[in-house]
Amino acid sequence: MIYDRPYMKSESDSAYQQKSMVFILLLINVGLFVLQNVLHILLPDIRIIENLFVLNSANLLEGKIWTLLTYSFLHSYPGLFHIFANMIGLYFIGKVIEPIIGSKSFLYLYLSSAIVGALFYLSLHLDPSKGLYGLVGASASISGILTFFCLIKPEERITLLVFFVLPVSLKPKWLLRAYLAITILFLFSEELTGAVNVAHSAHLGGILTGFIYYRFFYKVSFSPFSKFQEPIIELPKWFKKQKKHFSNVRYTVNYSDQKKQMKAEVNVILDKINLHGFESLTEKEAETLKKAHSLFDK
């Protein structure tokens, strides 16, 4: 339903931001990080968190299947930079793509990226003798949403702070290619050799999930609009007897018709916004959005 999209939310729906999935995931990650550190200080020798929720072969062989997901909500101890970098990515990327695909779809993408990342990691680390140490962190999930963002907005120039100091401006399509290349390089040169304890395999699983979601779910769900196909317009009843086909139709809102006509028109306009931004709208399209907002807000 188009009035379920954030574009069509009324001003009375001011609680949208508070209910956003990005906000909820931020709270969960930060809250568990605080709890994890408190337990390390109070009970340094028991390792409650690691025994129950960290992903490793030992835990998985004990039947702790939930660790395929729970690891992604934990971070290394004390790991302040680890969680900070992941939460910065979650916030800035998530707030862009959640309004486009919706909260539920965003959550599915986030969680599925974590699970696929876990499976990639386990495929290379099946030695249960390594004990309690294993995989933690939201990096696989962040890799998934980053990949999806770069695929839906490949030409939208963004600015990154390298080392949180040096601003660098580039297009997302180049960011994704560089990130993929670096991940594969470090997978072979660092992770597989044991030189650095960073799970690049999990990052690669997240990248793959983001691509799969874009290719087989997002593009299927939005395929009627993704390539600006000819808009479907419901003709007035008196005109339906004449079978005519229109191409490059210029249309206006007719309030005497039912809301189906308005939904079809607005869906095309909203998809144009998703792909090219608000600045790409014509004056007539902007006026149509205003009229639609008034109609569905009644």
- For residue 175, CA distances in Å to 151, 157, 170 come to 10, 10, 7
- The Cβ of residue 214 has, within 10 Å, a number of other Cβ atoms equal to 18
Ranges of the chain with pLDDT below 70: 1-18, 78, 127-133, 161-166, 219-260, 275-277, 279, 294-298
Tell me what pLDDT residue 125 has. 84
Q: Sign (positive/negative) of CA torsion 11, 12, 16, 17? A: positive
Instruction: State the span(s) of the chain assigned CATH 1.20.1540.10.
Output: 2-221
- The Cβ of residue 266 has, within 10 Å, a number of other Cβ atoms equal to 25
Tell me what pLDDT residue 10 has. 42
Which tokens in the block code for residue 172?
């997302």
Q: Determine the Cα–Cα distance for residues 81 and 221; give it in Å rounded to an integer.
A: 37
Q: Determine the Cα–Cα distance for residues 69 and 209; give it in Å rounded to an integer.
A: 14
DSSP states along 193-257: TTSS---HHHHHHHHHHHHHIIIIIIHHHTHHHHT-PPPP-PPPGGGTTS----SS------TTS
- For residue 30, CA distances in Å to 55, 114, 244 come to 19, 17, 59
- For residue 87, CA distances in Å to 5, 27, 33, 142, 183 come to 25, 10, 11, 9, 19
3-state secondary structure of 74: coil
- The superfamily CATH assigns to domain 2-221 is Rhomboid-like (1.20.1540.10)
Exposed, middle or buried: residue 173 (CB in 10 Å: 0-12, 13-18, 19+)? middle
